Amino acid sequence: MIIPGEIFSLMAAIFWSIAVVIFKSLSHKVSPFLINALKNTIALICFSILLIYLKIPFWNENFTRVESIKFIISGLLGMGVADAVFIYALSLVGASRIAILNCLEPLVIYFLSLLFLSSMELNNLEAMGFLIVIISIMIISYEKESNEISNIKKIKGLSLQFIAIVCSSIAMVMIKNNLNLYQSNPNVIIQIAVFRLFVGFIVSWLIISFIKNKKNLISSIKNKKIIIKIFTSSIVGTFMALTCWIMGQTYIQKLALASIIGQTSLIFIMFLSWFFLNEKITSTRIIASIFALFGVFLSNYF
């Protein structure tokens, strides 16, 4: 039985939401860059075990040189740079704000698809939907703050998250045609995911190598509870979510539709961050969330 891509994308959203909340709880205790390196390492080990169990080769010799270069760049941007920047932004502005801003991803993917995949031009409904998403981002950006976070820190965090969105969107769009080509063979799709993750693994540890006071970085993960959280978030958020995510991207023909389903994570993240992290659910964020989800729905469903 072939599982619809929409189901994969929804499962990815749920798994990723759980991981985001755990990442946020760790981000003030452990360096975001170390979290990224560890999650990539643990997930790579999980994928390696899966490949061995399924008797799938780690590398597909049929990949062309151009495909290999695309996968390397995609892994560098998506699993190396974007994830590290995302976790850092998460530590600055919180999970609920990040989730709202992430609704910009379908918009970015759509325009990148127009440029590189020769997708259709925007119709009136799609243009209106994207405008609504932008309005929701403006609402959250101009939210009046208490002592929870300074405006400077908020602007910095939201700006970094936008950079992460652009990097991850480029990483996905540039390999979409390759995923379409191999969609009849799930084993190859898993090989692509593992290869991208391997590149992200290398990049994330290269970033660590340039950070001073490495002993302090390592000492921050000696706590047993922190170790358990890192393992849990890595398995749920990188291994399980990444598997479902790339399957969803593969088996949904319209790339922006896969992204909109992924934005349902906004609902899960907002609730989980309120329940477990005691983040405020303000009326401003609720309004912004409704606007964002409606805008993304409007721009992709019809």
Computed over every residue of the chain, the mean pLDDT equals 82
pLDDT confidence tier of residue 1, bands split at 50, 70 and 90: very low
Cα(209)–Cα(286) distance, rounded to whole angstroms? 41
Q: What is the pLDDT of residues 132-178, one digit of tens each?
A: 777 776 776 666 655 567 778 888 998 999 999 999 999 988 998 88
Q: CA 71 → CA 64, 78, 152, 198, 203, distances in Å?
A: 11, 10, 36, 10, 14
Closest CA to 78 of 172, 205, 198: 172
pLDDT over 70 percentage in the chain: 86
Q: Mean pLDDT throughout 197-217?
A: 89
Cα(129)–Cα(90) distance, rounded to whole angstroms? 26
Dihedrals phi, psi of 71, to nearest 5 degrees = -65, -35
Find the angle CA(31)-CA(37)-CA(40) to the nearest 5 degrees.
Answer: 140
Q: What is the pLDDT of residues 22-52, one digit of tens each?
A: 998 888 888 889 999 999 999 999 999 999 9
Lowest mean pLDDT among 6-20, 60-74, 277-291: 277-291
pLDDT over 90 percentage in the chain: 32
Cα(242)–Cα(235) distance, rounded to whole angstroms? 10
**Domain-by-domain residue ranges, the chain?**
5-301
Cα(129)–Cα(300) distance, rounded to whole angstroms? 8
Residue type at position 172 = M
Lowest mean pLDDT among 55-69, 198-212, 252-266, 282-296: 252-266
Task: Select the more confidently predicted residue: 180 or 70.
Answer: 70
DSSP letter, residue 122: P
Q: What is the pTM of this model?
A: 0.82
Dihedrals phi, psi of 280, to nearest 5 degrees = -70, 140
Q: CA 299 → CA 180, 247, 257, 281, distances in Å?
A: 22, 22, 9, 26
Cα(84)–Cα(287) distance, rounded to whole angstroms? 29
**How confident is the model at residue 301, as a pLDDT?**
54
Lowest mean pLDDT among 23-32, 130-139, 203-212, 293-302: 293-302
Cα(190)–Cα(187) distance, rounded to whole angstroms? 5
